[in-house]
Amino acid sequence: MQDASSPEELSGWAAVLLRSDAHELAAILVDASQTVVATNGAAAALFDRNVVGEPLLESFEPGSRIKLARALETGGTCELLLRGSENDAPRVVRFAVLPEAGARRVLVGASNGQIWYSEAQGRELLRRNDELGVLSRQLARQAQELGQARTRLEHLNALRQQLTATLAHDLRNPLSAVGLVARELGRLGQGLPLTRVSALARRLERSVLRMARLIDTVLAAVRLEEDEIALDRTSTSLEDVVREAIDALAPLADERHVSVACAARGDTRALVDATWMGQVLDNLLANAIRHAPQGSAVRVAISGDEQHVACSVSDQGPGVPPELREAIFDRFRQAGPHAGSAGLGLYVSRGVLELHGGRIWVEQPETGGARFCFEVPRATP
């Protein structure tokens, strides 16, 4: 193939004709400006020179240029007068004009300049080219779909490996605590004081709850990633959901000597899935308790207006730097030494709230610490 610059990937007849000289078909590829960008050897023989880079119309007699320009726009076949040299008369040639990608056209004619096919044969050539073009596009689309599926599979495999590593790391501490308590119980046996038994039982409970929360969060992240979360939204008191989450996290708060209080104002009924909102509140409250200094307080504020119910969870911890206030909601992103839930809690919370038509953000109160805020649609009375 002769070309001034490598053309884009070809399809259909263009790929066959322009890449082979083992026939007597002259093939010419022109771009949208009607400039020749590639030919095969048979075309060079037909024109008696290499016409790559030249305007196509200038190779034909003036009377044929209008006919050729029309064929380049609409396709079809046309008989043309090819300009001869100084001593040669013009030659009659017939070209079939075939569409190619990117508004380009392929002209196909006989290398000896003879009319070698009829109008009916030209129309059949165009029809077959159209069929080949449709097949090429279908194959290209299927190849793209296969590529997307492979990328998705690679992404899921990487996610699985990361989740496995995260679970192995984050479950190690609570499992170690359970093992230590079990060994102590076994060593002391029946002579263990009742107060010590109660303390060990509470420690076991906290460790088991921590593992359960971590597993729930990881499973929620997987379902969110796979778009498998189906919400069952009903009119739900967000204040009730908050207080249930506070009760469930009481062992963690007691362990860190952090108090948790809730204040509600206005109508707090929201159109939400109570189970998934409980997961959101559990994530936000556990995050606040872990970051709150011992002896400090975590405050939850809820308020409702005509359109939304807003909730904020504030702690007195180190806060979130401005440059991390968006990234902290990304998957596997953790901030600070007390981050938990495998770096998935805030990621899950944002995903669930967005499914509800809500939003979440973090800000820093004037008193310091961090305040995680979210809002969801209010339930219609």
Q: The tokens of 305 are what?
A: 């207006």
Of the two residues 361 and 173, the one the predictor is more confident about is 361
Write down the pLDDT at residue 4. Answer: 41
What is the mean predicted confidence (pLDDT) over 228-257? 87
> 6 pLDDT band (50/70/90 cuts)?
very low
> Which of the residue ranges 59-73, 177-191, 332-346 would you say has the lowest mean pLDDT?
332-346
313 near 371, Cβ under 8 Å?
A: yes
What is the mean predicted confidence (pLDDT) over 174-198? 66
Output 28-36 pairs: Cβ under 8 A, ≥24 positions apart.
Answer: 28/56, 28/106, 28/107, 28/109, 29/3, 29/100, 29/104, 29/105, 29/106, 30/56, 30/72, 30/104, 30/105, 30/106, 30/107, 31/102, 31/103, 31/104, 32/102, 32/103, 32/104, 34/69, 34/72
Terminal-residue alpha carbon distance, the chain:
74
d(CA 323, CA 231): 32
> Half-sphere exposure of 168 toward its Cβ, with a 13 Å CA cutoff?
6
> 188 pLDDT band (50/70/90 cuts)?
low
Q: Residue 240 above 60 pLDDT?
A: yes
What is the mean predicted confidence (pLDDT) over 59-88? 84
d(CA 23, CA 11): 18
Write down the pLDDT at residue 247. Answer: 86
User: Could you tell me which residues are beta bridge partners of residue 26?
Assistant: 109
Share of residues in the chain with pLDDT > 70 (%): 69
Give pTM, 2 decimals: 0.50
Q: Which among 219, 214, 355 has a CA at the least distance from the CA of 286?
A: 214
Write down the pLDDT at residue 15. Answer: 65
The full 3-state SS of 174-224, as one line of letters, equals HHHHHHHHHHHHHHHHHHCCHHHHHHHHHHHHHHHHHHHHHHHHHHHHHHH
Of the two residues 180 and 291, the one the predictor is more confident about is 291
Write down the pLDDT at residue 5. Answer: 41
Write down the pLDDT at residue 147. Answer: 84
pLDDT tens digit sequence for 98-130: 888 778 888 888 755 554 555 666 566 666 766
**Where does residue 325 rank: exposed (0-12), middle (13-18), buried (19+ CB within 10 A)?**
middle
- The DSSP letter of residue 318 is S
Q: How far is CA 196 from CA 88, 180, 181, in A?
A: 114, 14, 11
Instruction: State the CB neighbour count (10 A cutoff) for residue 307.
Output: 8
Supply φ then ψ for residue 81, to 5 degrees: -100, 110
Strand segments, DSSP code E, in 70-131 are: 76-82, 91-100, 104-110
Write down the pLDDT at residue 311. Answer: 95
What is the mean predicted confidence (pLDDT) over 131-147? 78
Winning range, highest mean pLDDT, from 69-83, 187-201, 288-302, 327-341: 288-302
SS3 56: helix
Of the two residues 27 and 213, the one the predictor is more confident about is 27
Share of residues in the chain with pLDDT > 90 (%): 22
Q: Residue 131 above 50 pLDDT?
A: yes
Q: Residue 136 above 60 pLDDT?
A: yes
Winning range, highest mean pLDDT, from 224-238, 282-296, 340-354: 282-296
Q: Residue 45 above 90 pLDDT?
A: no
Q: Residue 338 above 50 pLDDT?
A: no
